[in-house]
Amino acid sequence: MVLRSADENVEARRVLEQRGLSMIRTDLLGRLGRLVGIDSMSIGDRRKSWDVLKTAEFLESRLPKDAPIIDFGAFNSETPGILIRMGFTNLHAVDLNPSVMSGPYRDRIRYIVGDFLATTFAPGSFAAITAISAIEHGHAIDALLSEVARLLAPGGYFVASTDYWPEKTDTAGIRIFGMDWTIFSARELGALFDGARARGLVPVGAQEYGSGSPVIEFAGKHYTFAWFALQKQNDAA
């Protein structure tokens, strides 16, 4: 699915706030925390409201609350905290940034400093893996899909969003978090789905490659977000 308008982001944040799930604090304490780098006071990005809500609602509708879940690219990610507020109890979060260790709910979320492309967890450890705006940094799709297929138990889900625009957008020379940055094109997203199927990871629902408005502007580029879910069909990794 593709984010088609800014209104969808606004409505998603309204729902998150209405349900008491939003991790973004708008009061003075939250703004001060972000200014001085105290991440646990306010986590997240309003531009990432639509995909965050879709991910949380997808998992809420399909998994028991004790299902083991890991969040890839967890620095400043709302997803683990939102899942805690939804009642999930078996959560992990991994990121290369050591500041991930200052994330919220540290007594209930296992935070790990590490590379999500090469974790030390045993095969079949998780019922779900989430990755919100993470897989476009470094763009190592083969390694990503191999690790996802290895970590998921049969029937488990990989739920992700990524920067997207149907036509190829040139991001050469732009580095974010010290890594190359890719805005996925329709062709690249299709190649991801093909690689996923080869590893027993089947898209949930129809694949969508269209676009609406370029909702997001960053580093001089205009694009939107794509969101998708893959389900592991067998034990092949």
User: Does residue 112 fall inside a structural domain?
Assistant: yes
Split into its structural domains, the chain has a count of 1
- Please say if the pLDDT value at position 40 is more than 60: no
User: Does residue 186 fall inside a structural domain?
Assistant: yes
Q: Does residue 125 contact residue 151 with C-beta atoms inside 8 Å?
A: yes
- Tell me the CATH number at 116: 3.40.50.150
Compute how many other C-beta atoms are within 10 angstroms of the C-beta atom of residue 124.
16
- Please say if the pLDDT value at position 160 is more than 50: yes
User: Does residue 237 fall inside a structural domain?
Assistant: no
* Host domain of residue 225: 6-232
Token output for 207: 């694949």
CA distances from 113 to 92, 93, 97 (A): 11, 9, 7
| Pair type for strands 179-180 and 152-164 | unpaired
| Whole-structure pTM value | 0.90
pLDDT digits (tens, 9 = 90+) for 87-99: 999 999 999 999 9
